[in-house]
Amino acid sequence: MDNVLAINGGIPVRDHPLPPAFPGAVMYDEREKEGLCDIIDRQSPFRYYGPNLAGSVKRFERQLAETIGTRYALGVTSCTAALVCALKACGVGPGDKVIVPACTFLATPGAVVIAGAVPVFCDIDDSLSLDPDALEAVIDPYVKAVIAVPILGNPCRMDAITAVAKKHRLYVIEDVAQSIGSRYRGRHSGSFGDISVFSLQMNKIITTGEGGAVVTNDPLLYERAVRYHDQGMYREQEGFLSKDAERNVFIGQNYRMSELTGAVACAQMAKLPAILSRMKELKQYIKGQLEGLVPFRAINDKEGDASSNIMLLLKDAETSRRFREALNAENIAASYLYNGQPIYMLPQIFHQKTADADGFPFNQFPEKIVYTEDMCPRALQLLAGNVVLPISPVYTDEDAQDIVKGVKKVAASLL
């Protein structure tokens, strides 16, 4: 192997890029096509009525609930919609605060704001998930819920998180957008919270392009989520615009999943075990070959890890930049999670920019809500040096070997 880095004029480890790393999408085949064509042939793309319903959304919901181990599941249009439904199911609104981790996608704090509440940011641990040891310090009388995010397939320490939440009588919402199939101590992520959410967006482990879901064991939370996602209605219990349930009725949104999305979701659910198994096999080989050579992020449950990536945590942003640029020159894909910053550094969060001219909902508290760059110091440090190596279920053994060669080559020169 040429030891001169490709970025410096050497011969790259590969002469072409790795295959695409969209775990669910790269597994599309005739099964997704057949599901879609069936709905089209039936001329019934709406879940609640049509000339010849297939019930694909209901089937997906049943499959998801059985997989995660919950009583109920609800298909919706996106994970952002699912988060809003979950928050509203818990009664979160103006005057409330919700704790979220400093490392998450914008949708997590964004959904809190959409629900009329304000996000409070908690620092993270070496897994990049919410640190339960830092949780109590950010709880105040306005906090109503905490959102735990198993980031990029890495399960959270849910026993410790739920213990703190129970002590303070907080709702626990799991945002499992990136981590379907992950487990902590034998239980699926999404089965610990009072209510939890999943994503079917393009980057996720399984995908319908866009889509999401809510799961829970609580019948009242489920009913409230159903009502919020369908204009306040609960059609399976009451039919259309019933006047007989005034006690539970409230105005909601339209976050209904279509039968077309449901059909693809069913096909993808059937492939989930194979996707997870192949990615686990690839990760075990690559990490085994690189052990001791590069610093990996901590995994809270190695058996339950469902990451579609391998993440390195280097010493600082400059080292990460040089490492990523060198790897990409070797045709080994490497990216930078959330631009190496806590999510609260995005201007719409940091400067509290909403669509409301008066600053709602940040103006609902006696004391001004203030975010500072250094309020989560561990997140600042860890995220600055991150390097993400995507893992795809269609990678061959030779692809995995090339990743090992590329990382070893770059590490020998830069670390």
The rounded distance, in Å, linking the Cα atoms of 384 and 342 is: 9
Q: Strand 386-390 relative to strand 309-313: parallel, antiparallel, unpaired?
A: antiparallel
The rounded distance, in Å, linking the Cα atoms of 313 and 294 is: 8
Asked whether the beta carbons of 178 and 151 are under 8 A apart, the reply is yes
- What secondary structure does DSSP assign to 306-367, as a single string? --SEEEEE-SSHHHHHHHHHHHHHTT---B-GGGGS-GGGSHHHHTT--SSTT-TTTTSSSS
Asked whether the beta carbons of 79 and 107 are under 8 A apart, the reply is yes
Asked whether the beta carbons of 142 and 365 are under 8 A apart, the reply is yes
Q: What is the pLDDT of residues 206-240, one digit of tens each?
A: 999 999 999 999 999 999 999 999 999 998 876 66
> CA-based angle 265:267:273, to the nearest 5?
100
Residue 144, classed as helix, strand or coil, is: strand
Residue range 381-398: mean pLDDT, rounded: 99
Global pTM reads 0.96
Query: Any idea where the domains of the chain sit in the sequence?
Result: 30-268
CATH code of 30-268, in short, is: 3.40.640.10
Q: What is the pLDDT of residues 301-360, one digit of tens each?
A: 999 999 999 999 999 999 999 999 999 999 999 999 999 999 999 999 999 999 988 899
